[in-house]
Amino acid sequence: MAFKSPADILKFVKDNDIQEVVFSFTDIDGALHVVNYASSVVNAKTFSEGVMFDGSSLKGWRQINESELALHPDPTTARVDPSVPTLKIICNITDPGTGKIYNRDPRGVAKRAEAFVKDTGIADKVVVGPEPEFFVFDHATYGVDPHSSFSNVASSECPNSDELYERRGLSHHMEANGGYLASSPRDLGAEMRSKMMAALKSMDVIVEKHHHETAPGQHEIGIKYNTLVRSADEVQILKDVVKNVAKSYGRSATFMPKPDYNENGSGMHLHYSMWKSDKPLFAGDGYAGLSELCLWFTGGVKKHIKALNALTNPSTNSYRRLVPGFEAPVLVAHSSGNRSAACRIPWTTLAESKRVECRFPDPAANPYLAYAGILMAGMDGILNQIDPGEAMDKDLYKLPPTERKMIPHVCASLREALDNLDKDRDFLKVGGVFDDDLIDAYIELKKEEIEWLEKRPTPGEFVKYYSV
């Protein structure tokens, strides 16, 4: 059901005996936060004045002496949660002192990016289609303290844990790296993914496909393209649905990019296109049927890809995925149909389907910041007519070492990515989309994560160094 105004919301709540209204928002890290209100206290002022909350309790946001922030529900995002009789609404964050969107609100950044494109007159719509991948494990435990650290994950799709023997006995085991598009009974997640798809459909998120991915326990749900902010909203809804449906099956879902050693990691490929007056702007008579504008967009993404890595691959674990040999795009190249390139041009004969697929992002990314960052890099390419260079229509994984060294690489670590973001940030600040305050806070937050991890010995280090 489409809602257009607060009045629509209030009428629906009353007519359908909705007991609770859930307000949600996303922090800098990309984590979803919610607060549940009894429907009886939600009124017109809730939408006009907002709901106050403590911004100092969230990492990277406010200090204790200036903690007040306000949630402003966006009525057009309201969706009924099928699992309980609640109405969920996504919120923008405002600063009560100024009444403006809080500069560190990730959704606000994405909204400013959309507005910037319109203000340039280049396009009136940016469309993004995401393909989030994730793992579902039957068993997942982990922990760290000053004297120990451990992690253990297990999937009944492969024989890796005696405690799952009974469940494994109901399936055909899946060989390593052999799960792509697997069918039942090897694919034990088909029914679960269908439940996820049904839940998303009931929340007005259109799922185009779902299937098993390459690794045991790995899955993909592709949702239909939408405008930039709406698509980022839907990624957050998808993550929430996936985790909760998996829990209802007694399993655990994770969007961690690389939870399993020696298996493919999870990516979140993003398909970009731009439109003006319902005309696709990425179709033309250039390479692979692309327009000059699309090639410039690609040139901008390639130029700024190392700074983008800080937003699109925001965890230390992200760089366990971005290594050769596991179908992850480690080389900064563009190509038609070539899945080993960081920027792929999917094959199509339809002008309206011409697009650029950015294959380097992963699902740990905050979708609002990642989407906006890639768009701003592409816009820099368009505004400055950045030539993407020659396309690489060959298997980049099998290039001779001497030739491979000639092609730029994505970052090899989160620290490298943050250093590049620090040095190459001006393209993000054009039009006031990002600002130094947000970028500095993001870098500081992520460097704290790195330092926390770097100070702790890992089980692998004990294996390698204990007997030295």
By annotation, the residues acting in catalysis are 54, 131, 133, 213, 220, 269, 339, 357, 359
137-169 per-residue burial string, b: 16 or more CB within 10 A, e: under 16: bbbbeeeeeeeeeeeebbbbbbebbeebeebbe
Whether 41 and 54 have beta carbons less than 8 Å apart is answered as: no
* Long-range contacts of 241-246, Cβ-Cβ distance < 8 Å, separation of 24 or more: 241/196, 241/199, 241/200, 241/203, 241/205, 242/134, 242/196, 244/83, 245/192, 245/195, 245/196, 245/199, 246/136, 246/192
Beta bridge partners of 69: 53
Which secondary-structure segment (H or E) carries 110? helix 106-120
Eight-state DSSP code of residue 317: T
> At residue 414, what is the residue type?
L
Nearest to 34 by CA among 44, 20, 48: 20
Taking residue 60's Cβ as centre, other Cβ atoms within 10 Å add up to 17
Whether 411 and 153 have beta carbons less than 8 Å apart is answered as: no
Contacts of 70 (CB under 8 A, 6+ apart): 49, 50, 51, 52, 53, 93, 94, 95, 96
Q: Are strands 86-94 and 20-26 parallel, antiparallel or unpaired?
A: parallel
69-104 per-residue burial string, b: 16 or more CB within 10 A, e: under 16: bbbbbbbebbbbbeeeebbbbbbbbbbeeeeebbbb
Distance CA 289, CA 353 (A): 11
Radius of gyration of the chain from its Cα atoms, rounded to whole angstroms: 22
Distance CA 54, CA 62 (A): 8
> Angle at Cα 271 formed by Cα 179 and Cα 298, nearest 5°?
120
Eight-state DSSP code of residue 325: T
> At residue 43, what is the residue type?
N
Which secondary-structure segment (H or E) carries 450? helix 436-454
Distances (CA, A) of 454 to 441, 458, 461, 464: 20, 9, 12, 16
Nearest to 356 by CA among 406, 298, 405, 412: 298
Q: Scanning the structure block, which residue is given the tokens 């993407």?
A: 388
Nearest to 234 by CA among 243, 245, 225: 225
